[in-house]
Amino acid sequence: MLEYFDPRNDIDPERDYGTAAPSTDPVPTGDLVDLVVDGAKVRVPDGTSVMRAASIAGINIPKLCATDSLEAYGSCRLCLVEIGGKAGYSASCTTLVEEGMEVSTQSDKLGRLRRNVMELYISDHPLDCLTCSANGDCELQDMAGIVGLREQRYGDGGSNHLDDMPDGSNPYFQYDPAKCIVCSRCVRACEQIQGTYALSISGRGFASRISAGQGQPFMDSDCVSCGACVQACPTATLTEKTIIATGQPDHSVITTCAYCGVGCAFKAEMKGDQVVRMVPWKGGRANRGHACIKGRFAFGYASHKDRITQPMIRQSIDLPWRNVSWDEAFEFAAGRLRSIQAEYGRDSVGGITSSRCTNEEIYLVQKMVRAAFGNNNIDNCARVCHAPTGFGLKTTLGESAGTQTFDSVEKTDVMLVIGANPTESHPVFGSRMRKRLREGTRLIVVDPRRIDLVKSPHAETAYHLKLLPGTNVALINALAHVIVDEGLEQAAFIAQRCEREAFDTWRTFIGDSRHSPEQTEQYTGVPAEDVRQAARLYATGGNAAIYYGLGVTEHSQGSTAVMGIANLAMLTGNIGREGVGVNPMRGQNNVQGACDMGSFPHELPGYRHLSGDPVRQQFEEAWGVDILPEPGYRITNMLDAAVEGSLKGMYIQGEDIAQSDPNTQHVEAALGNLECLIVQDLFLNETAKYAHVFLPGSTFLEKDGTFTNAERRISPVRKVMAPASGLQEWQVTAGLSRALGYAMDYDHPSEIMDEIAALTPAFGGVSYDRLDREGSLQWPCNEDAPDGTPIMHVEAFVRGKGFFALTEFIPTDEKVTEQFPLLLTTGRILSQYNVGAQTRRTDNVAWHSEDVLEVHAQDAQDRGIENGDLVSLSSRSGITQLHVKVSDRVQPGVVYTTFHHPETGANVITTDNSDWATNCPEYKVTAVQVGKPIGASTSEWQQKHARFSETQIALLDRQGEAQ
């Protein structure tokens, strides 16, 4: 029987084939090799190991140190086989197949060898299987059974490690060296999968032990708690604490992570309706079996005591909350909104959708606003992050989305990373980037700070263009100038694929010497020669891909910078195939989806402008209402209108604008002016403290739906437990809509997706059935692309020909002054997520319990400040106080902090400057001063905020009191 292995169908993510496939191409393009294993004929791609070939034929050779997520190691000696014509015994994991090979995996001699190997392992291993946390999930146990181990003849009098003490320093997992068989899977996982290199083997021979850092507890080492080692460990040595506490799960459900824009696929392993652990799923095409500390471990917030599960209302925000039924909450909210509209006009109410909710839920909110509110005052958090991507890429390429898959990085020769910090904000993808860098790919980083990616272990030295905040466009123009000036453009590609006239105009524009590295150096601070070398590398180094993030978009010229990036890609022909492209790193799990679902004041689902009659009429017909053909308010405009007094009601789904939006005092003033604020969330967050109606939300574990990640990949979200509040969030929106008089009768979110697919060409082929069968789909997915679209703009751009936009550098209004001589830039950290609403309610606080201000040693010294000091941070917007960390990651003149903790009030400092095209706030450039604290240990705003918070929490605790 000839077994032909078809990688598209036959690879089962539930199985461990021992070693990886020789290439990740879905269809192998190299030679195929025929061999015989135990009499069965197998045909596999050249470069496959004997172990993997046998496994494909259904023969599982015993193994301990091999696993298919890691490179073959050959240390355990359990997988020995006999190969015809070769003397001795070969390790099947490290031996590659050869044409005509005859392999025998079983014989008396092999059996004895394997039992002897197992006997040695067991001689230094506790024999407490029945009470061990790995009972039922232990490869050592499995192998002992498979090889038929019956005795351990070495006795227990010799040297052993049975008294080694466990290390429980990490809140999520335990390291128990007494059970370690030194297979090195953990060390290799930390190197090859995660790329952090926190682990090593110390000593040698019998004294070999796993060492975190310098033999430190895990928490004190470089470990980032990604859990890859725990997953790789074949014994109980590295185990999740939840497994130790509760035992093995009884079933699992595949779902998608609710944290960042990588959108990792997970198996939620359950006992009944309790999640025991989240294990990244190998079949997930975004993450391929890897995860980070948040997705894997930080799910405890779903059952945190702060969780609110009952609807609440109150007449005004100085009164205690009152628990009510869902119907009463809907009636109250709808009544208030209608009376506000009667008094102040149709446009006096608006809504904000959550980029963390499902596509179906977001779609319903924008539908409700258009159909039931009757206006287009609907926006989402992309307003404050990637709206410039939407504008910029739509203008130049024709579609506002990333052009590649994550897998594409495997064919990249040059990475240009601008204003993104992947190892902290998209960790699983950051690990894949590091893996590619270790293979020799070159790296150019454009960032004011020295992000961790710059110093990746075992990678080539990177170009770090350390520019001043606010000068992106000048630098991008300089790169383009060099490419044109030195004749490195791809003329044939441009002639064929781009608009001639626009290119000619642009070429003349960019050729001017004012854009040269020599002349832009005065703005950027980057030496001209470095810029020239980087530009040459990008243009001529092979497949070059640009990855960018909020360091590009959150600026007054964010949209311009995005267009400049697209120009660079088109100029060098780096678009339309694997290994290249323009990759916006979308931050949240479903911000891509929120944009796709038309949660915008000016666009309907599928990025189609409201003013387009045919499209709008199609929606009007489907929804049975008239849709206002004029754009509505963006979030920033809603807040302005609220302060001014013309906007009086808002419905905010899963978004904490009081913490995440800039110029906090302005946001607070706006919220305080509302007569009806409806907040739908899991916890009483900063925004909810101003609310009149609280509608409890449901976590990603409690609902069915879909998320769309940064690759345009639509993945299923599957309910594993009943919603704590009784309703999934899509049902909540439907309930409110019904109370407003607009019926929404869906029995299941799949019906909502069917409606979306019917109305949106890019989603035409998407359905829950297909997602169940195929795992995920990348839009556009329709008749033109029945299996979805991994790479965009392959033959033509979505707008036809690519458009070169002019990108004049206009320095921001935000300039350093004598009063505010430093520039503040903001960002995020690995362990905390966004406003921290979820991660602050998990053990992740062990890593980042407060926001700190990173200051360069020079600036600290000038101010007489030392590491750990409390300082005041002030701007023209406000003042706050926080602790300092002296760091060389920032450059002199630039300071940095995060926004994860509300008490820090990082956004009290940020201003109302924003991108010219989209109003995306300029979080990344604020002129500040840092100094000794003024009087008390907290600023005036912080004290006011603390008092207000305390009052509101007290009012929450008094819920149920008679009013």
Partner 1 sequence: MVADIVASLKHKPGALLPVLHEIQRQFGHVPEEAVELIARGLDLPIAEVHGVISFYHYFSTSPRGRHVVEICRAESCQAMGGRELELFAKQKLGLNYSETTADQQITLEFVHCLGNCACSPSVRVGTQIYGRMSSERFEALIDELGAPALEAR
Partner 2 sequence: MTDAELNHLVKMANQIASNSATGNAEEAALAVASHIERFWAGAMRDKICGQLDQVSDELSPTALAALTRLK
202 makes contact, choosing from partner 1, partner 2, none, with CB < 5 to 8 Å by partner type, with partner 1
Residue 234 or residue 350: which is nearer to partner 2 going by CB?
Answer: 350
Amino acid present at 757: A
Residue pair 90/50 in contact by the 8 Å Cβ criterion? yes
Q: How many CB atoms lie within 10 A of CB 200?
A: 17
Nearest residue (CB) to partner 2, 632 versus 697: 632
To partner 1, the closest distance from the beta carbon of 216 in angstroms equals 9
Q: Which stretch binds partner 2 (CB under 8 A): 129-137, 192-200, 572-580, 643-651?
A: 643-651
- Asked if residue 462 binds partner 1 (CB under 8 A), the reply is no
Examine residue 643 and tell whether it contacts partner 2 (CB under 8 A): yes
Query: Using CB under 8 A as the criterion, what x/- string covers residues 523-562 for binding partner 2?
Result: ---------------------------------xx-xx--
On whether the CB atoms of residues 183 and 75 are closer than 8 A, the answer is yes
Tell me whether residue 175 or residue 809 sits nearer to partner 2 (CB atom).
809
Which of residues 15, 304, 346, 455 is near partner 1 by CB under 8 A? 455
How is the chain split among helix, strand and coil, in percent rounded to 5? 35, 15, 45
Task: Confirm or reject binding of residue 440 to partner 1 (CB under 8 A).
Answer: no
Taking the least distance from each CB to partner 2, the nearer of 141 and 505 is 505
630 binds, among partner 1, partner 2, none (CB under 5 to 8 A by kind): partner 2
Which CB, 19 or 919, lies closer to partner 2? Answer: 919
Give the full edge-to-edge strand order of the sheet including 649-653. Answer: 322-323, 312-313, 693-696, 676-681, 649-653, 349-352, 378-379
Q: Which is nearer to partner 2, 639 or 852 (CB)?
A: 639
Contacting range for partner 1; rule: CB under 8 A; set: 32-40, 204-212, 655-663, 759-767: 204-212
Cα end-to-end span (Å), the chain: 79
Q: Which does 457 bind (CB under 5 to 8 A by kind): partner 2, partner 1, none?
A: partner 1
Give φ, ψ of 395 to 5 degrees.
-70, -40
Sign of CA dihedral 143, 147, 149, 154: negative
Residue 739: contacted member of partner 1, partner 2, none (CB under 5 to 8 Å, by partner type): none
Closest CA to 18 of 83, 81, 100, 112: 81
Q: Which is nearer to partner 1, 201 or 643 (CB)?
A: 201
Residue 319 within binding range of partner 2, rule CB under 8 A: no
Decide: helix, strand or coil at residue 855: strand
Kindly indicate which of the ranges 33-41, 247-255, 267-275, 626-634 contains the residues binding partner 2, using the contact rule CB under 8 A: 626-634
CA–CA distances in Å: residue 464 to residues 271, 417, 419, 455: 48, 10, 12, 10
In 3D space, the residue among 594, 585, 607, 597 whose CA is nearest the CA of residue 395 turns out to be 607
Q: Which two tokens stand for residue 59?
A: 């023969």
- By CB under 8 A, is residue 344 in contact with partner 2? no
- Only one of the segments 86-94, 329-337, 403-411, 802-810 lies at the binding site for partner 2 (rule: CB under 8 A); that segment is 802-810
For partner 2, give the closer residue by CB, 208 or 646: 646
Q: Which stretch binds partner 2 (CB under 8 A): 66-74, 242-250, 627-635, 947-955?
A: 627-635
Q: CA-to-CA distance for 666 and 651, rounded, in angstroms?
A: 18
Pick the piece of the chain touching partner 2 (CB under 8 A) from 652-660, 806-814, 831-839, 896-904.
Answer: 806-814
CA separation for the pair 910, 740 (Å, rounded): 37
Rounded distance, CA 252 to CA 265, Å? 13
Return the range that interacts with partner 2 (CB under 8 A); candidates 545-553, 637-645, 699-707, 937-945: 637-645
Beta strands 2-4 and 40-45: pairing type? parallel
Site for partner 2 in 238-257 (CB under 8 A): none
* Backbone φ and ψ of 146, nearest 5°: -70, -40
DSSP annotation of 932: S
Beta carbon nearer to partner 1, 194 or 556 = 194
The option from partner 2, partner 1, none interacting with 560 (CB < 5 to 8 A, set by class) reads: partner 2
Contacts of 714 (CB under 8 A, 6+ apart): 359, 593, 706, 707, 708, 763, 766, 771, 776, 777, 778, 779, 781
631 forms part of the interface with partner 2 (CB under 8 A): yes
The site map against partner 2 for 889-928 (x = CB under 8 A) is -----------------------x---xxxx---------
Rule CB under 8 A: say whether 226 interacts with partner 1.
no
Using rule CB under 8 A, residue 221 touches partner 1: yes
- Give residues 865-884 in contact with partner 2 (rule: CB under 8 A): none
Single out the residue of 30, 457, 672, 931 in contact with partner 1 (rule: CB under 8 A).
457
- Work out whether 637 is an interface residue with partner 2 (CB under 8 A): yes
User: How far is 44 from 28, CA to CA, in rounded Å?
Assistant: 9
Across the beta sheet with 713-717, what order do the strands follow? 705-708, 713-717, 777-778
The binder of partner 1 chosen from 64, 110, 199, 258 (CB under 8 A): 199
Report the nearest approach of partner 2 to the CB of residue 508 (Å).
11
**Nearest distance, CB of residue 280 and partner 2, angstroms:** 40
Can you tell me which of 207, 495, 810, 946 binds partner 2, judged by CB under 8 A?
Answer: 810
Judged by CB under 8 A, which stretch of 151-159, 203-211, 439-447, 843-851 contacts partner 1?
203-211
With b meaning 16 or more CB within 10 Å and e meaning fewer, what string describes 269-297? bbeeeebbbbbbbbbbbbbbbbbbbbbbb
| Strand pairing class (322-323; 349-352) | unpaired
Distance CA 237, CA 463 (A): 40
Is 225 a binding residue for partner 1 by CB under 8 A? The answer is: no
937 phi and psi, to 5 degrees? -85, -5
Closest CA to 452 of 418, 428, 424: 424
68 binds partner 2 (CB under 8 A): no
Tokens 């020799």 belong to 440
Contact 104, 38 (CB under 8 A): yes
CA atoms within 13 A of residue 669's CA, in its CB half-sphere = 14
Using an 8 Å Cβ cutoff, are 599 and 610 in contact?
A: no
Query: Which 360-389 positions form the footprint of partner 2 (CB under 8 A)?
Result: 376-377
Asked whether 290 and 228 are in contact (CB, 8 A), the reply is yes
H or E stretch at 602:
none
Residue 852 token pair? 């700190």
Q: Does 507 bind partner 2 (CB under 8 A)?
A: no
Q: List binders of partner 1 among 831-870 (CB under 8 A).
A: none
217 is a contact residue toward partner 1 (CB under 8 A): no
Write down the least CB distance from residue 634 to partner 2, Å.
8
* Residue 471 is a binding residue for partner 2 (CB under 8 A): no
Total chain residues near partner 1 (CB under 8 A): 18
Instruction: Figure out which of the listed residues 66, 138, 212, 312 binds partner 1, where binding follows CB under 8 A.
Output: 212
Residue 83 — φ and ψ, nearest 5°?
-120, 125
Closest to partner 1 by CB, 167 vs 655, is 167
* Binding partner at 455 among partner 1, partner 2, none, C-beta below 5 to 8 Å by kind: partner 1
Residue 628 beta carbon to partner 2: minimum distance, rounded to whole angstroms: 8
| H or E element that contains 45 | strand 40-45
Any contact of residue 438 with partner 1 (CB under 8 A)? no
* Whole-angstrom distance, CA of residue 289 vs CA of residue 754: 30
How many helices (H) and strands (E) the chain has is answered by 30, 36
220 binds partner 1 (CB under 8 A): no
Residues lying near partner 2 in the complex (CB under 8 A) are found at: 347, 376-377, 556-557, 559-560, 601-602, 609, 611, 630-634, 637, 640-641, 643-646, 806, 808, 810, 912, 916-919
Residues lying near partner 1 in the complex (CB under 8 A) are found at: 196-204, 211-215, 221-222, 455, 457
